[in-house]
Every structure is written in C-alpha cells, then in structure tokens.
C-alpha cells in the first residue's frame, strides 16, 4: 500500500452515463495527478493539482472534468465518454519539490461500452 487509494477499482459505463472516479491520499502530499494508461502507450498525464490549484491540463477533452476540493482528495468526473477512453486511470501524489517521486494509487480500470 502506497497511501494512495482509488475507488472504484473497476468501472463499466455506457457512453451516455455520468460517473466519477475518486482518489484519496493519506501522505500529506500537496500535489496530485491524474494519468491515463492505455495498452501500448506511455503513461499520459492528464491533470496536475498543486495545493488544490490546477497547474496542468494536458489538452484533455472536456468530457473529463477534474475536481480537487482539498489537497487530500481528487476526483475525475466522466460524462459522454467514448470507447477509446477505456483504460486504466491512475492517480498519483507527491510532496514538493516537483522532482520528488510520485506515489501511485492502484488505479481504476474503466471500460466504456
């Protein structure tokens, strides 16, 4: 266990559904990340939050909407997704400075039908 939890671990949704992924870190870190991991592709950074402020939006489609209510919690709200959005969604956190190691959660395996 890395101290970063994600729920749900598995999610199957239709293209018209709305769902949310949750990430929680118990490490006292100030930065949190969302990554997408698809087969045969590098880990793709989606969003970065530092002290609850979004500092990076890596050209992610608007059907993915992040929310960071405090430095321990991070959400990814999903709506009208496409089948190609099926992937493993990983949350990570780290403490400053920015080059410190990232601690990953177990991920949510998302399937869009």
- Applying CB under 8 A, the residues found at the interface with other proteins are 2, 40-43, 45, 48, 56, 58, 90, 92, 98-99, 101-107
Closest contact distance (angstroms) between CB of 12 and other proteins is 18
- Specify whether the CB–CB gap between 42 and 1 falls below 8 A: no
- Specify whether the CB–CB gap between 17 and 63 falls below 8 A: no
What is the spatial distance between Cα 29 and Cα 26, in angstroms, rounded to a whole number? 8
Query: Which CB, 65 or 106, lies closer to other proteins?
Result: 106
Closest contact distance (angstroms) between CB of 86 and other proteins is 16
Q: What angle do CA 66, 107, 53 make, to 5 degrees?
A: 25
Closest contact distance (angstroms) between CB of 99 and other proteins is 5
Query: Which CB, 46 or 81, lies closer to other proteins?
Result: 46
């Amino acid at each position: 266990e890395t101290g970063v939890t994600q729920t749900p671990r598995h999610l199957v949704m239709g293209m018209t559904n709305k769902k949310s992924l949750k990430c929680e870190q118990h490490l006292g870190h100030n930065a949190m990340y969302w990554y997408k991991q698809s087969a045969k592709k590098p880990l793709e950074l989606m969003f970065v939050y530092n002290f609850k402020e979004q500092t990076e939006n890596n050209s992610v489609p608007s059907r993915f909407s992040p929310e960071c209510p405090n430095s321990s919690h991070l959400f990814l709200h999903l709506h009208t997704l496409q089948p190609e959005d099926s992937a493993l969604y990983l949350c990570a956190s780290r403490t400053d400075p920015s080059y410190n190691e990232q601690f990953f959660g177990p991920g949510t395996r998302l399937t869009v039908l």
